[in-house]
Amino acid sequence: MLKIKKGDKVEVRAGKDSGKRGTVLDVIPSTGRIVVEKVNVVIRHRKPRKSGEKGERIHKEASIDASNVMLVCPHTDKPTRVGFTFEGEKKVRVSKKSGKAI
């Protein structure tokens, strides 16, 4: 189970884009990878399929391993580890830096 969800704000901690922040666009739990907005941008070349159509270069975000990012705490605006706790019968994510629910 990944501790990062779609829509979370994360900071890249390793790799060519380390230090960049962005929101999570997609989570792939089966492979443990995530897609972050404006991080790990690759260029895909599309061939023309019909006559008269032009080929083009498409910039899109590729997935990165979830272990290379840290969740940004909404209360302190700093990267933090994530823990879990129970509030009543509901399991919630908790910031290790501030101790508050995310």
Domain boundaries defined on the chain = 9-95
Query: Is pLDDT above 80 for 1?
Result: no
AA identity, residue 19: G
Q: What is the pLDDT of residue 2?
A: 84
The stretch 75-85 carries a mean pLDDT of: 94
Query: At the top level of CATH, which class does the domain 9-95 belong to?
Result: mainly beta
Measured CA to CA, the distance from residue 54 to residue 91 in angstroms comes to 51
pTM: predicted TM-score of the whole model, two decimal places: 0.86
Read off the pLDDT of residues 23-57 as tens digits, 9 standing for 90 and up: 999 999 999 999 999 999 999 999 999 999 999 99
The count of residues in the chain is: 102
Query: Is pLDDT above 80 for 17?
Result: yes
Instruction: Reduce the DSSP state of residue 66 to 3 states and report it.
Output: helix
Q: Using the 8-state DSSP alphabet, how is residue 63 labeled?
A: P
